[in-house]
A = this chain, B = another copy of it.
């Protein structure tokens, strides 16, 4: 890939969590990944050294705070500290997947709001801007006092389904729970499809939970959508419930393939035909089963980086389904 970006002050760095994506982004931007060594000492402490001067540079640092979340988070923080002390001009954190996002409010007494804590840590360490993708709740933008550019993955996922002819299939978009209805609705709008919502509830005390399907799915192509899939427990139960309710084919999609613990096995055994995910989180070989199809956010994020660096608006990137051709 050629190194063709004109401004040498734009630097792109990657840490450990997702170097293949970072490499693709750098390629799309037209720069080489910056030279940084990240070492883990024998006692687990991380040591970072930036190999070349970045004084006065605008640095874009790519890191998903996916598993191992704490190590990856600490890497970003230490790197921000190093960049600040080494006199970077601006420090822009590109977080394809923002870990701990689900702890975004005190749901029970005496709970932490870890998503806010992480926002404070990034800001206090010295970040000047965040470029994020599909935050678990849009309000997390407000956890930061620095500018946040928030990209939406729905435009990418919608594009996938449109390119694969789903607008002809009159699918139903399914929200697997009450919290994800707005996200499902956005995809439904792109696909001009109706909605269904799953309301999992215990009918009476001491009785098993039941999956109530609100909306009509019988004989339909269903597309379940969530922002992330972790252990895949809920989504596979939802898929079964849809099947039982007479759904024709069942697709699923999400932006962030966390896929921890039993996730892969559950998906493999579920009635889900295909699961569409992005590469916001690196998928190791053993998780790349046939049912899972990955689409890349590299072009979207690279475009965002260039637009930010060139003082252009980033919203054109996700107002329509994303095909790579923007303005």
Contacts and interface: CB of A to CB of B under 8 A. Distances in A.
A260 interface: yes
Given A41-B260, A105-B139, A112-B85, A125 B117 contact: yes
Contacts of A261: 42-43
Interface stretch (A162-170, A174-182, A235-243, A245-253): A174-182
A258 B41 CA distance: 12
A166 B117 CA distance: 42
Interface in A92-117: 99-100, 102-117
A267 B197 CA distance: 29
A182 B177 CA distance: 9
A283 interface: no
Interface stretch (A23-31, A62-70, A271-279, A285-293): A62-70
A178 B189 contact: no
Given A79-B112, A106-B141, A106-B148, A43 B117 contact: no
Interface stretch (A219-227, A297-305, A306-314): A306-314
A85 B113 contact: yes
Nearest to A104: B139
Contact of A121 (B77, B79, B203, B313): B77
A108 B215 CA distance: 30
A231 interface: yes
A188 B203 CA distance: 11
Nearest to A125: B117
A147 to B, nearest CB: 5
Interface in A139-197: 139-143, 145, 147-148, 150, 178-179, 181-182, 184-185, 188-189, 192, 194-197
A56 B311 contact: yes
A137 B192 CA distance: 27
B81 A112 contact: yes
Contact of A53 (B100, B148, B197, B312): B312
A3 interface: no
Contact of A145 (B120, B148, B215): B120
Contact of A105 (B53, B138, B188): B138
A190 to B, nearest CB: 12
Contact of A47 (B103, B113, B262): B103
A197 B182 contact: no
A115 B77 CA distance: 12
Residue picked from A74, A138, A312, most chain B C-beta under 10 Å: A74
B120 A124 contact: yes
Given A43-B230, A109-B313, 13 more contacts: A43-B261, A45-B100, A46-B114, A48-B112, A56-B311, A78-B112, A105-B139, A120-B124, A178-B185, A188-B199, A189-B201, A197-B214, A214-B214
Q: Which 6 A-B pairs have the closest CB atoms?
A: A139-B139, A42-B261, A56-B311, A43-B260, A82-B112, A116-B142
